[in-house]
Chains A and B, each alone.
Chain A
Amino acid sequence: MTSTSTRDLVSQPYKYGFVTEIETDKIAKGLSEEVVRLISAKKEEPDFLLQFRLKAFRHWLTLEEPDWAALGYPEIDYQDIVYYAAPKQKEKKASLDEVDPKLLETFDKLGIPLSEQKRLSNVAVDAVFDSVSIATTYKEKLAEHGVVFCSFSEAVKEHPELIERYLGTVVSSNDNYFAALNSAVFSDGSFVFIPKGVECPMELSTYFRINSGDTGQFERTLIVAEEGASVSYLEGCTAPMFDTNQLHAAVVELVALDDASIKYSTVQNWYAGDENGVGGIYNFVTKRGQCRGDRSRISWTQVETGSAITWKYPSCVLQGADSVGEFYSVALTNNCQQADTGTKMVHVGPRTRSTIVSKGISAGRSSNSYRGLVQMGPNAKGARNYSQCDSMLIGDQAAANTYPYIRSQQPQAAIEHEASTCRISEDQLFYLQSRGIGFEEAVSMMVSGFCRDVFNQLPMEFAAEADKLLALKLEGSVG
């Protein structure tokens, strides 16, 4: 095809692939009950949390790693992973001035300035480095509204009653293999609490950075919105380039009480491995929201572009009457990436509604599967679901699959499912080119057109970012 199109652009470097040299407090590799106790002790946790971890660990020992996903990867040696690593720094940071400047620099380089002068206006950020929260901005301002936004560890110390009340109530410690593992060894993450009637005054965001090469990453995020509260939360993720694989097994739990609303957006850009599939993150994540209250709403928006392996199904349990669940997803795979991702919408309460919009883009030799469950329980009278799953293939070596599962025990529930597959054709590209639009720009225009329904759901400032990220990831993949 055209001379500018192909290989020289394929190897577009991953620009977040650097490693920060920093001293860490690391425990020895391997996993045992002793290690679980050690993590809990290092974090000076209350007994209920230690018991939660131990129960999870004992259960994990009885489980087998799931193999039903359309994913292929070498066996993971769980004894060859470090389960606790934290950058060495003063125990408690009174202010940002005490945070290691190297860490601040790292986040600056990632485009997430944490220092007072350069902060993103109207976005509060919790920065997590190798599973340890290093700083949270705008905490005081949020506290004025009664909003708690802090690292998970801090929340355990300062709001143990909230943690005890909600932890593991959406994703129980024996939910699945990776959730059990996370429950046993999780290190840190974010905690958000929006009290009754409060509309969170700014966007909340957690930025996850993996730095170590041999450390597993096990974050835990818990977001609770009380009656009538609302919040919009965004997570971003990057990692250095290593030629080994790093395991990332996070758990996210959302709880929405009566009339509450939680919007959770993800832009996932973990390192995906090189063009031959060497290195990259194994991303096994359990994300679930519970619309516990009547008329509550939980919305997941995800833009998945990184990771060698993605195993992720952000779900909604629609318990409250008239509650609403939404899932908007763009999953892009290139080179040798594999993604098996989708959602579960479990309709329990009457008149619950859910919407699923999934856009999968596969380029290179990658494989991209949508897997989704829509379940209508016996009491879900008048419930409705609408699902739309579209796949776009780029090139002739990529694969796209759709696995929709539908279970209904309620005759008065409505379920709609639409699916399509398309390919960017030579004629479409030529048409755009013959109007003066460059080849790469033509591809990215078509891809972003394909993803528009999902990007429209992202917070404004991130929608443009997501668009650019996709264009970057696809450079040179057509031709």
Chain B
Amino acid sequence: MIRPDAQLLLDIQDLHASVEDKPILKGVNLQVRAGEVHAVMGRNGSGKSTLSKVLAGHPAYRVTGGTVRYRGQDLFELEPEERARLGVFLGFQYPVEIPGVSNLEFLRVSTNARREKQGEEELDTFAFEDHVHDKLKVVQMDPAFLERSVNEGFSGGEKKRNEILQMALLEPVVAILDETDSGLDIDALRIVAGGVNQLATEDNATLLITHYQRLLDEITPDYVHVMAAGRILRTGGRELALELEQTGYDWVDQELAAQGVA
């Protein structure tokens, strides 16, 4: 939902970042306001996953230039955990397994860290069990997954549902979902997308990072951005995604060649 007067949540200006001294992001500009759903599309290696990791604060990615303001605050001054507590959420493309750490306990500690920051009361084990059972419905998840270790032995689809469950618990202000659709069959995709749609409000925003149009059939974006060579090459409405579906990314190469980048 586009409202020009809505609060600016994320303001990315001329962002540059490297991995192992290799420049990946080369001047990204993007503004995200409350209530909006953005889709960032592009081929492998275009820099879209790097953008999500940089925003969440992954230590392997080094910011080499530009600024990101999150609700007016310099994002890069904050540790990853601090960003999360303030409402920045990254849904991982490949959620890692953490053997021995109970999923339920992990979700509780995580939820309480966010609640504490928001001045809300900490939930004890019992209160949290009730709380989490409500949220399980959002992603139609079997409570048995709470008893297991974090993501351990989960199928691809179960891992993604667990990500959206975390999103439901943390109630983020800006949710960045990195290839949440990858590895999902159509039923799982609908459940995950349904969860994302339920959680979208006019006060938060979603940044979908995706390869394919099919996720956008389920979640309607307000803006579609096409990334290539570490920058946003073109921005449009949802029709841009449909156009990409039909024409592919060949035009991107031509455009880059014309600009003398590729």
Contacts and interface: CB of A to CB of B under 8 A. Distances in A.
Interface in B98-117: 98-102, 105-106, 109-110, 113-114, 117
Contacts of A436: 81, 84-85, 110, 113-114, 117, 170
Given A445-B109, A446-B100, A449-B99, A434 B60 contact: no
B95 interface: yes
B101 A434 contact: no
Interface string A446-458: 1011111000000
B18 interface: no
Contacts of B106: 432, 435, 437, 445
B92 interface: yes
Given A425-B96, A436-B110, A449 B101 contact: yes
B79 A449 contact: no
Interface in A180-196: none
A430 B100 contact: no
A431 B60 CA distance: 13
Contacts of A422: 99
Contacts of A4: 79
Contacts of B89: 434
Given A445-B101, A445-B106, A449-B101, A434 B96 contact: no
A285 B147 CA distance: 39
B166 interface: yes
A431 B79 contact: no
B59 interface: yes
A431 B103 CA distance: 13
B98 A430 contact: no
Contact of B60 (A426, A441, A448): A426
Interface in B78-93: 79-81, 83-85, 89-90, 92
B160 to A, nearest CB: 14
B56 to A, nearest CB: 5
A451 B96 CA distance: 19
A434 B56 contact: yes
Contact of B57 (A426, A432, A434, A437): A434
Nearest to B95: A431
A450 B92 contact: no
A449 B149 contact: yes
A437 B81 contact: yes
A2 B60 CA distance: 11
Interface in B200-238: none
B109 A441 contact: yes
Interface string A1-29: 11110000000000000000000000000
Interface of B: 56-60, 79-81, 83-85, 89-90, 92, 95-96, 98-102, 105-106, 109-110, 113-114, 117, 149, 166, 170
Interface of A: 1-4, 422, 425-428, 430-439, 441, 445-446, 448-452
